[in-house]
Structure 1
């Protein structure tokens, strides 16, 4: 399949386009500079960003040039899209720190050598804007009535929408105009919740420069039931190994519902679609083999093949009785610290398996806590040195969440 647009469509990426036939022809006949924006509201990307990163990688492999736009300027305001309340305000130091973290992470997925991809911070032009000039050049092209019909604003009107946030659409649209002027960028990509902002940006480029500009959105990563993927009881599934360990990352994909395996293989791996469909159609218990491949492939891309193999070996050791368990998430403590936290509730908190003793009590009472694979039924249970096996104790929450306490 020669046209990357067809590849993206077949794999299930594309949700909406401003001009489908024109975009397909553009990607067929030209080397296109395109961009995707990321707001630096944290110091790591998470699974929710990964569909866009994969799409950018497909496009780059087909000869197109990605611009990674990091919102150092817009991040000072906050995007109201998909929000029921105002985002936390960030200072410049926080934004700069997060921008640097993003640059490091994205280098794993895109080739930035010889300007094959570039990273740009919109703070370079947004922070020094002259407000009057901006209103005269840019604001004149925006209808307030039309803006208020955008989904990102409609959902906020009853609860309250600040003028600060109302500016966000103008800022993001101006980004597209600046990127067109500076780099010849003609296509903006984003999640489907960005549709209103993206069509406004393409329209602004056409109005101000008289140039053809386009937008394309991608399906959000959701389960077959329509719920966003990438969330666990512990919070977001991060790409940073310090926030979500490679083992926990592997286990997240290993445990997706059967109905979601084919979609995840298509969106989050580079496996050929014939293989994706074959794995997605495996019956019954054989679907576990497809999940194993999914977990390994996604973990390999994010954390490298060595960490993916360690995670798989650890999972095999726990669930199949073979493999190497050394990659199971662990916490090292002194013997004194172990004795001071020997109550099962304290151990659960120490391992990060619960956030409070109240949560721990509920978990024990529901039969969801195990120590060395033996169910703990007493919230007053005190672990002793007799529970230590090979220098560690193994805690389990529910069926599949493990953590080792290593005593030094």
Structure 2
């Protein structure tokens, strides 16, 4: 099978955009929620605001041009076509870095950090902190192929990413991820491939041991309380995607408003925004990300990752150098002592004052600073 890397240019047919416009114009809306706020999901007024923008003002061609300008490619790994962005730094000593998104994210999450990471000199940084950046779309997401059968759990994706970096000629690299990207990145570190110099996580899945429960700090108590609240009132999406992704896929694939609401809710709940996602992300940014689910019709295929791997999300121990950045509105915030059991070679730990689940998307400057500091000892 060919190892060729082929340039990929996005050129969505106008008919697909016209179809989207027609569907948005013919939306059949539900009645208003019966409570104040977001307790029952996305409020009707908030949803109408987003859809009005999508229908009347949003410009997909702008997003398409941005992605094409980064440099997009596809290659077949382990029988599956993988889509990725690849931006080489102008600095000769740049460190190769692979960034992995999660759900409901996409390569769009990283669009604001690619420039500062690859060319710090042009963004007021130190050129010795430069990275060559690779940003793949997970299998079943974006413009990567959709697996036709079962058998693409996190560990297999991690092996594919290692092969991708080898294929690009990067014989020593670092990896970063949050959400599913955290699980994939953790697996990249756990595999033990000689090319992997270290990893960085902004979602750290390290749980307390039994003996910790008798001696919890205030921060640990808050983290556990937030996780319990998430389990009680915030993970219905994961249960549905992890058990009946196909059933869910029919509605989301047919209705752009349904697909948008499924994702928009998480931008409100998981960002550090006090419930107002527009305070950290623009309507265009959120819709750019939503379009990477709508246009390739990946509602069901993206959800199947939960069916494959959600019950085995817990991180395996990693002995390569590990760096962790804990953002205050992350779904689960491990403490350092919990993490040190999984990561005996912990080289960086920082608990930030702002930011949430979509760290690179919400707080690109903080995210960039964290990666530069985290990987500086590995250069």
* Fold match (TM-score > 0.5): no
Task: Select the structure of larger CA radius of gyration.
Answer: 1
> TM bucket by the smaller chain?
under 0.3
TM-score for both structures, normalised by structure 2: 0.25
